[in-house]
Amino acid sequence: MNAHTDPMATTFLLERQPTPLGTMLLATDEQARLRILDWEEHEEAMHRLLRRHYPRQSIILRETPRKSPAMRALEAYFDGELHAIDGLEVATGGTAFQRLVWAALRTIPAGSTISYQELASRIGRPTAVRAVGLANGANPISIVVPCHRVIGSGNKRSLVGYGGGLHRKRWLLEHENAMPPLRQAQQACLPGL
C-alpha cells in the first residue's frame, strides 16, 4: 500500500519561500500548526527528521502555493516584525524531554541569547547540558522555536552549532539585535554571507 492510499497517512502542506538566508521550507498540518521549518539544501535531512519524529505514521508532504498563517508570520519576521512569530502554534513529534527543551526555547525573547547551561537550568535539569544540546540540535522548527538564541557559555559566549549553518545563526542574531554586526573584513571569511 503506498502512502497516497494509506488511511493512516498524515498530510502536511509544504511551502517554499525565498528569504535573505536562502529558500525556506515549512510544513503545516490541517489545523495550520507549524510542523517543520528548514532550508532547501537540507530537504533530504528534513524528510529523515520527519520519519524519525513520526515513526508510526506515514507523512505525505504536499506542496502548496497558498501561504499559510505561519508563512505570513515568517515573512513579517524577516521584514523586521520580530514578534510576528511568537504566537504561532507549533506541533512536534520527539520525546517528552525534547518537547520540554523546545518549549523552553520559545521563552527566549528576540534580542536575547542564553547558554546551553542556562537552558538546562531553566528546565530544572542543570546537569543535562549535553542532552539539552542534543535536543536543541534535533529541533524541527528553526527560527520559530529559536534554537539560534542558544550560544556557548563562558567569557566568549560564542556561536556554537546550528543545523542551518553558523552563517544563518549569526544573521538571525544580528537581525534580532542580539549581537553586533560583523565587521566587513570578518564577513568575507564566512561562507554564505
Helix axes 96-105, 129-137, angle to 10 degrees: 80
Q: d(Cα 86, Cα 112) in Å, to the nearest integer?
A: 14
Domains of the chain (ranges, CATH numbers)? 9-85 (3.30.160), 96-180 (1.10.10.10)
> What integer pLDDT is reported at residue 192 of this predicted model?
38
Give the tens place of pLDDT for each residue, 16-45.
Answer: 999 999 999 999 999 999 999 999 999 998
Is the pLDDT reported for residue 8 higher than 80? no
Output the pTM of the full model: 0.83
> What integer pLDDT is reported at residue 180 of this predicted model?
61
Give the tens place of pLDDT for each residue, 94-146.
Answer: 899 999 999 999 999 999 999 999 999 999 999 999 999 999 989 999 999 99
Is the pLDDT reported for residue 184 higher than 50? no
DSSP secondary structure code for residue 144 in this structure: T
Is the pLDDT reported for residue 187 higher than 50? no
Please tell me which residue in 147, 151, 172, 178 is annotated as part of the active site: 147
* Whether residue 147 lies in the annotated active site: yes
Name the percent of the chain lying above pLDDT 70: 85
Residues 6+ apart with CB under 8 A from 144: 34, 37, 70, 74, 85, 88, 90, 106
Q: d(Cα 173, Cα 29) in Å, to the nearest integer?
A: 28
Q: d(Cα 180, Cα 187) in Å, to the nearest integer?
A: 12
Residues 6+ apart with CB under 8 A from 44: none
Q: d(Cα 3, Cα 17) in Å, to the nearest integer?
A: 26
Q: Which of 74, 182, 159 is nearest to 113 (CA)?
A: 159
Q: pLDDT tier at 7 (50, 70, 90 boundaries)?
A: low
Give the tens place of pLDDT for each residue, 54-69.
Answer: 888 888 899 998 999 9
Is the pLDDT reported for residue 46 higher than 50? yes
Q: Which of 82, 113, 104 is nearest to 180 (CA)?
A: 113
Contact assessment for residue 98 and residue 147, using Cβ atoms and an 8 Å cutoff: no
Angle (nearest 5°) at CA 116 between 110 and 119 = 65
